[in-house]
Amino acid sequence: MVVKPRSTVENAPVAEVLAILAGGQKVKQRILRMRACNEKDSKGAPCCGHLKRWYGFSGEVTEKFGSQPEIYRCERCQTLYVPNPQEEPRSAVQSF
C-alpha cells in the first residue's frame, strides 16, 4: 500500500470566487477533482464539508449560470460550487 504525501497548503490551488449572491452566499469554481469545501472559517481552518449536487438554487443563480446549472453545495457552510471547465469535458467547446 502506497501512502501519498499530503499536498501542502501553499501548493494547493485556490478555488476562485465567481460570484457572491445577494444573500452573501459565495459561488466558487471547483478545483479539478475537488470533493471537499476549502472555504475557511473565522479561525482560518478549512471547512472540508462535502460538496453535494444541489438543485435548490434561486433565479439569481440561473441568471448567472444558465437555466440548468450544475451546482454543488457544501453541506456545512452552504458555499456553492460550479464545476471546473476542465473537469469531465463535454461535447461543447469551451470558449472564453
Among 65, 77, 84, 85, binds Zn ion (CB under 5 A): 77
Q: What is the CB neighbour count within 10 angstroms for residue 7?
A: 9
Query: Residues of 22-59 as b/e, b for ≥16 C-beta within 10 angstroms?
Result: eeebbbbbbbeebeebbbeeeeeeebebebeebeebee
> In the complex, what is the shortest distance from the CB of residue 55 to Zn ion, in angstroms, rounded to a whole number?
18
> In the complex, what is the shortest distance from the CB of residue 80 to Zn ion, in angstroms, rounded to a whole number?
10
Among 31, 60, 65, 76, binds Zn ion (CB under 5 A): 76
Interaction with Zn ion in 27-66: which residues (CB under 5 A)?
Answer: 37, 39, 47, 49
